[in-house]
Amino acid sequence: MELAVNPVYPVDGQVFKHLVHAALSWLKTNQQTVNALNVFPVPDGDTGTNMVLTMQAACDEVANSNEKNIGKVAHAVAHGALMGARGNSGVILSQLWRGFARSLDKQDEMDGQALVQAFAAGRDTAYKGVVRPVEGTILTVAKDMAAAAERALLETDNPYQILEKILPDTDASVQRTPDLLPVLKDAGVVDSGGKGLYFILEGMVRYIQGQSLETPIMTVQPLGAMRLENTLETIEPGQDYEVVVDFRPFAPLDLPKLYADLELIGTSIQLGEGDGIYRMHIHVPTDRRYVPIDYTMSVGTVTKVAMENLLAQIETAAPSLLTDKLELMQFTPGQIAVIVVAPGPGIARVFASLGVAAVVEGGQTMNPSTQEILSAFKDLPTDKVIILPNNKNIILAAQAAAQAALHLGIEKKVVILPSRTVPQGLAAMLRLIPEGDLDAVVADMQSALSDVETGEITTATRSVEIDGVAVQEGQVIALHNGKLVLSAATVQEATLALLQMIDAAERELITLFSGAEISGPEVDVIAAAIREAYPSQEVEVQYGGQPYYPLILALE
């Protein structure tokens, strides 16, 4: 893509808009590369997806704007990013844009000095927005980027040249993240949020230099890390079919040629590998839906082919939890309303039965946006609101929603109870007294978070060793309060081993929330085994409907 506006400076709002759009395009092109950097081998709210959706919201805010004042455009970008922010990475990214915009407030154009000041303001705002900043993350990369910009300003006041000069330093910062955060080094990856921020900067630089924004970085990700369900969110016009081909290559793959050839065929290209089997994913027009298969047969032996009509998938997609007919609590002024995030329809119904005011769809695999959380409570007829995120990667978005309400003049006292799991949220709900004093109820609900132990059973999406636990891609794994603790061959084996590890015999009630991908009879067999192993404990089974996690366990 060539620069749509002559690279003169100072930079006005329209040039800035093009730079931001280029950043989104390049980030989207390399979205799966960022997703594959997930530290833990669990289905997660992928960083690349969260950052793309955050940037998409930012670009949508200015898509039709003809405003030339860069301060106004930057504020619109920041507002869009804030409302569309998903996950911790998305919220921190929105804070970087917020500080950037504040620095450009009331400025018509941006020279090199203003750019450097904006980078510094973005860094400061992002650090202030996190209660306990962790180095070796996107925050560190933003800090190093700002420092590199200050050094570059000593050589030039040209903002385009400054962006080009700080790109190598930003890359070096990303590569240093494992030295600052041991968990990254253990997993053998760099920080995903930092890498996403690098792609945002690199997209701007590639745009300035007239380079392509469509050719992804040539990587092969583990098969388990390929999150093909997320491709429904970014379907390109005219690319109506999704084609997935598994194959064994005849010879070592020439990745640059492979990607170049696939780019001539379609978009949304991904390549995964596991045990010598490669999986190629691509979106193509209807009349070219068989071309990827023919091409793959020229480089290897095809073992499996899957083809889906993307438009049909969207039309038949399952309805949102918000459209389900849940019996939600009706609140009057003065009462305390609780908003919860739930990952499955069964869990949503359980929360509804406990008296919540609204349920926001989301969880570990799809983090809701700031706007979605805000919309759930802004029109409630009460000014007392408690939000239960029920996931560590949603807490920052909930806090951002509360801040957004304040800035929008929505007169409500919004309290975020930092529930990190569904069982914690359920335990807190049992302490709700809608007519009670808000501070007292919050304190009581907060104390309930430590009264429950959480277990989660899922399948490893990659091979890794973390905290002394070695897992192989495809193995069943168990997490205790969010920490990886063991691997096993089957869901039942993992469940029983986890219960023994966390002293289930000392608890009174064991509740199993079954996921969407495990059958009722299989859950019944596991529940029977638990009852046999723990005859003194009460064992309950509830349908949760959560994706990717066959079982969520609550021990009280």
Q: What is the predicted pLDDT for the residue at 3?
A: 45
Percentages (nearest 5) of helix, strand, coil residues in the chain: 50, 20, 35
Look up the CATH architecture of domain 321-451. Answer: 3-Layer(aba) Sandwich (3.40)
SS3 of 281-347: the string is EEEECHHHCCHHHHHHHHHEEEEEEEEEEHHHHHHCCCCCHHHCCCCCCCCCCCCEEEEEEECCHHH
Q: What is the predicted pLDDT for the residue at 221?
A: 59
Q: Are β-strands 509-514 and 538-543 bridged in parallel, bridged antiparallel, or unpaired?
A: parallel
Nearest to 292 by CA among 266, 330, 259, 323: 266
Residue segments in the chain with a per-residue pLDDT below the cut of 50? 1-5, 232-233, 314-323
Span 267-305, pLDDT tens digits? 878 888 877 889 888 888 888 889 999 999 999 999 989
Which residue intervals of the chain bear CATH 3.40.50.10440? 321-451
Query: CA-to-CA distance for 194 and 200, rounded, in angstroms?
Result: 10
Q: What is the predicted pLDDT for the residue at 322?
A: 42
Q: What is the predicted pLDDT for the residue at 19?
A: 96
CATH of domain 221-315: 3.30.70.260
Q: What is the predicted pLDDT for the residue at 281?
A: 87
Is the CB of residue 499 less than 8 Å from the CB of residue 533?
yes
Residue 518 has, within 13 A of its CA and on its CB side, a CA count of 30
Span 462-475, pLDDT tens digits? 788 887 888 888 89
Q: What is the predicted pLDDT for the residue at 321?
A: 45
Query: CA-to-CA distance for 349 and 330, rounded, in angstroms?
Result: 15
Domain at 13-208, CATH from 1.10.940.10, 3.40.50.620, 1.25.40.340, 1.10.40.30: 1.25.40.340
CATH T-level topology, domain 453-555:
Hypothetical Protein Tm841; Chain: A;domain 3 (3.30.1180)
Is this model's pTM higher than 0.85 or not? no
Instruction: Enter the tokens of residue 134.
Output: 């962790």
Q: What is the predicted pLDDT for the residue at 187?
A: 81
Which residue intervals of the chain bear CATH 1.25.40.340? 13-208
CB atoms within 10 A of CB 435: 9
Q: What is the predicted pLDDT for the residue at 323?
A: 39
Which residue intervals of the chain bear CATH 3.30.1180? 453-555
488-497 contacts, C-beta under 8 A, 24 or more apart: 491/457, 491/518, 491/522, 491/526, 491/550, 491/551, 492/525, 492/526, 492/529, 494/457, 495/455, 495/457, 495/526, 495/530, 495/551, 495/553, 496/529, 496/530, 496/533
Is the CB of residue 390 less than 8 Å from the CB of residue 341?
yes
| Angle at which helices 422-429 and 345-353 cross, to 10° | 20
Q: Phi-psi region for residue 299, left (φ > 0), alpha (ψ -120 to 50) or beta?
A: alpha
Which residue intervals of the chain bear CATH 3.30.70.260? 221-315
